[in-house]
Chains A and B, each alone.
Chain A
Amino acid sequence: MAAVEPTLTLRGDGRVRRRRIANRVAEVLATVAALAAVAVLGIVVWSVAKRGAGALSWGFLTHDLPIPFSGQSGGIAPLIVGSAILVGLAAAIALPVGVCIAVFLEEFARPAVRAGIQLAVDLLNGLPSIIIGVFVFGLLVYGHPQNGWAGSIGLAIVMLPLVTRATQEVLRLVPRSQREGALALGASRWRTVLGITLPSALGGILTGTVLAVARAAGETAPLLFVTSIYGRTIELNPSHALPNLPVQIFIWSESSDPEDHKRAWASALVLILFVLATSLIARLALARFRRRMG
């Protein structure tokens, strides 16, 4: 009849308490870190909104750029139009090429070839965007006038690995049974890809492209050397340098004129609203697409 050990209670002794405290501390630290990241996002967005909203008006969105040191307020219509053209052309280049690369990697390539091309795509993705800017400058602009084509090709290089990656991911989500069903019914490879696989992946491919567009719209470095010297008015011809939001925000932020800082904030607000809204919507759409595909 050994008595029950009196120290064996359900209340923790010193060691247990220490372990619990360590656990608590770790949990609190992790939570604080997450809150800090959210807070930084909040502070950045709030500062841009607070400073930008004052200068933002219908006139600001629709007028031509101001003449420097003229005292006139001017607007950013040419920047919005130019950015839209640059990003639109970039998407038109990157989307078909990116989808083709993804189809090759997921449907055709043998493992060794696949590994090589996949590596190249990943390295392109990690390439500093200023290198892309220098490359496009050297290839298309050095010795020629600046032009919008070079800018959109630079942005297309930024978008290409993103589109490829996104397409690969959704192609992997398409159930094997669909593909095998089509092949078993006697459909050829290309009919299966074009008729079955790509259509069911289409939603995901498009949202992935929208995410890449959001990313490209904010890229400055690929444009800095190839489309940064432009006029004050709306320019529609990509053979000329196209005014665009990121480069102009950069130029205004480097300026010593406080009026230019105000313009930079208001333009940054326009840019950030576009980028955050599109990437938020695309993300939601992508999450829904994933759920639907199981």
Chain B
Amino acid sequence: MSTLPATQELRGGRRVRDWLGDRILFLLTLAAGLAGVGLLGLIAYRVIRGAHLAFSTFGLSFVWGTAWDTNKNVFGALPGLYGTAVTSLMALIIAAPLAIAIALFLSELAPRGIRVVVGSLVEMLAAIPSVVLGLWGILVLAPFVQDHLEPWLHGWFGFIPVFGQEGAAPGIFLAGLVLAIMVVPIVASVCRELFLSVPSELEEGALALGATRWEMVRGVVLSSSRPGIAAAVILGLGRALGEAIAVTQVIGAQWFIKASLFQPGDTLASRIAGQYQGAVSKLQISSLFYLAAILLVIGLVTNLLAQIVVRRFAFQRTGGS
């Protein structure tokens, strides 16, 4: 009889503990979640604040300014914007078809054992640190490009301005190649997941109607995955736009705009990385922040776009059935 109040008290104590535990865990994890959002905001705020001096000096004309003169303290972003656009575009033109083909091989063609091995090797390619890829790019790939690929392209397509003028190996062309290597595994792994999620009834239906495997892929797999492929390519673009280290190593770091891909150049990200020990004046450091702010805006817009496409597409695919 005398134990009853004690048990009740115990129960009460446990209820309080559970209530408290639930609250604490909820608040703790909520705080972490909000910290993630806050971090993104803090990054944007700090980068933009760092650009304040350059912004008040040059205004928006920094964006289309072409100078990077540390003696006269005049800075502009246009050559970097141009280099970023051209190298990323080149990387995508090379990497996107390759990556889609690899994803098709892995999802539709390869037998199980090979699929696992090749699939993990492609992911290993993504694991190679960019500084190592850049080292390889400048010391191994560059001589090859200079001795073989450049003369060949120049010889056949020299009448097109982009292949017009031969130069030293470090340059836009080499940077585009190295970026393509970095982008392929990203696009390939997203596309593979995408192709594997195509309902197999659709695929089998097409095959049962007498389509060849390629016709099935074209008519069912590719056409039903188009938005997803677009998102994968945009994600790859985001990676190419923002890569700093490997590009710095292979691009030649020249702040000018030349029509020929075989000339050196610079991207927004690689200029920031390349100036890591050379920045002296406050205005120059602030200009680097300004470049970073431009890159941040471009990067966020690109990734946001990819996420929106992914989300809408995932909704279509899962919400439909």
Q: What residues make up the interface of A, taking CB atoms closer than 8 Å to B?
A: 19-20, 22-23, 25-27, 29-34, 36-38, 40-41, 43-45, 47-48, 51, 97, 100-101, 103-105, 107-109, 113, 116-117, 119-124, 126-135, 138-139, 142, 157, 160, 164, 188-191, 193-194, 214-215, 217-221, 224-225, 228-229, 246, 249-250, 253-254, 261, 264-265, 268, 271-272, 275-276, 279-280, 283
Of the residues A23, A128, A135, A228, contact of B242 by C-beta under 8 Å: A128
In the complex, which residue of chain B has the Cβ closest to the Cβ of A249?
A: B131
In the complex, which residue of chain B has the Cβ closest to the Cβ of A229?
A: B277
CB of B118 within 8 A of chain A? yes
CB of B37 within 8 A of chain A? yes
CB of B98 within 8 A of chain A? yes
Evaluate contact between B249 and A253: CB separation under 8 angstroms.
yes
In the complex, which residue of chain B has the Cβ closest to the Cβ of A225?
A: B276
Give the CA-CA distance A101 to B273 in the complex, in Å.
Answer: 31
In the complex, which residue of chain B has the Cβ closest to the Cβ of A123?
A: B303
In the complex, which residue of chain A has the Cβ closest to the Cβ of B21?
A: A190
Give the CA-CA distance A30 to B101 in the complex, in Å.
Answer: 5
Question: What would 22 A/B residue contacts be, using CB atoms closer than 8 Å?
Answer: A20-B212, A22-B212, A23-B213, A30-B102, A30-B109, A34-B110, A37-B121, A37-B185, A37-B188, A41-B124, A44-B136, A103-B25, A128-B238, A130-B244, A138-B46, A142-B50, A191-B18, A193-B25, A218-B127, A221-B130, A279-B123, A279-B124
Contacts of B300 in A (CB 8 A): 123, 127
Evaluate contact between A47 and B29: CB separation under 8 angstroms.
no
Contacts of A126 in B (CB 8 A): 235, 238-239, 299, 302-303, 306
A104-B242 contact, Cβ under 8 Å, with A37-B125, A48-B132, A121-B36? no
Per-position 1/0 for B274-313, Cβ under 8 A of A: 0011000000010011001001100110111011000000
Q: Could you tell me the distance in whole angstroms from the C-beta of A284 to the nearest C-beta in chain B?
A: 9
In the complex, which residue of chain B has the Cβ closest to the Cβ of A139?
A: B46
Evaluate contact between A104 and B46: CB separation under 8 angstroms.
no
Contacts of B132 in A (CB 8 A): 44, 48, 218, 249, 268, 271-272
Q: What residues make up the interface of B, taking CB atoms closer than 8 Å to A?
A: 18-19, 21-22, 24-26, 28-37, 39-40, 42-43, 46-47, 49-50, 97-98, 101-102, 104-106, 108-110, 118, 120-125, 127-136, 138-140, 181, 184-185, 188, 212-215, 217, 235, 238-239, 241-245, 248-249, 269, 272-273, 276-277, 285, 288-289, 292, 295-296, 299-300, 302-304, 306-307
Evaluate contact between B241 and A47: CB separation under 8 angstroms.
no
Contacts of B181 in A (CB 8 A): 40
Of the residues A41, A135, A191, contact of B21 by C-beta under 8 Å: A191
A188-B214 contact, Cβ under 8 Å, with A34-B102, A104-B30, A249-B131? no
Give the CA-CA distance A228 to B304 in the complex, in Å.
Answer: 32
Give the CA-CA distance A157 to B38 in the complex, in Å.
Answer: 12
Give the CA-CA distance A15 to B24 in the complex, in Å.
Answer: 70
In the complex, which residue of chain A has the Cβ closest to the Cβ of B110?
A: A34
Evaluate contact between B43 and A34: CB separation under 8 angstroms.
no
Give the CA-CA distance A30 to B214 in the complex, in Å.
Answer: 11
Evaluate contact between B184 and A37: CB separation under 8 angstroms.
yes
Contacts of B30 in A (CB 8 A): 104, 108
Q: Could you tell me the distance in whole angstroms from the C-beta of A236 to the nearest C-beta in chain B?
A: 24
Evaluate contact between A128 and B249: CB separation under 8 angstroms.
no
Contacts of A40 in B (CB 8 A): 125, 181
Contacts of B37 in A (CB 8 A): 116-117, 120
Evaluate contact between A27 and B109: CB separation under 8 angstroms.
yes
Q: Could you tell me the distance in whole angstroms from the C-beta of A257 to the nearest C-beta in chain B?
A: 13
Give the CA-CA distance A22 to B22 in the complex, in Å.
Answer: 61
Told that A26-B213, A272-B132 touch, could you supply 16 new A-B pairs with CB distance under 8 A? A23-B213, A27-B213, A31-B105, A41-B128, A97-B35, A100-B31, A101-B29, A128-B238, A164-B36, A189-B22, A218-B132, A221-B130, A250-B134, A271-B129, A271-B132, A280-B120
A-B contact count (CB 8 A): 276
Q: Which of A122, A217, A229 has the most CB of B within 10 A?
A: A122
Give the CA-CA distance A109 to B32 in the complex, in Å.
Answer: 12
Question: 10 nearest interchain CB pairs?
Answer: A128-B242, A218-B129, A100-B32, A104-B29, A188-B18, A33-B101, A126-B303, A130-B244, A190-B21, A23-B212
Give the CA-CA distance A194 to B28 in the complex, in Å.
Answer: 13
Give the CA-CA distance A19 to B216 in the complex, in Å.
Answer: 12
Evaluate contact between A47 and B140: CB separation under 8 angstroms.
yes
Of the residues B43, B46, B98, B215, contact of A33 by C-beta under 8 Å: B98
Give the CA-CA distance A191 to B105 in the complex, in Å.
Answer: 46
Evaluate contact between B212 and A19: CB separation under 8 angstroms.
yes
A130-B272 contact, Cβ under 8 Å, with A135-B46, A276-B124? yes
In the complex, which residue of chain B has the Cβ closest to the Cβ of A253?
A: B135
A253-B139 contact, Cβ under 8 Å, with A34-B110, A131-B296, A228-B276? yes
Q: Which of B24, B32, B129, B212 has the most CB of A within 10 A?
A: B129
Evaluate contact between A250 and B244: CB separation under 8 angstroms.
no
Give the CA-CA distance A160 to B37 in the complex, in Å.
Answer: 12
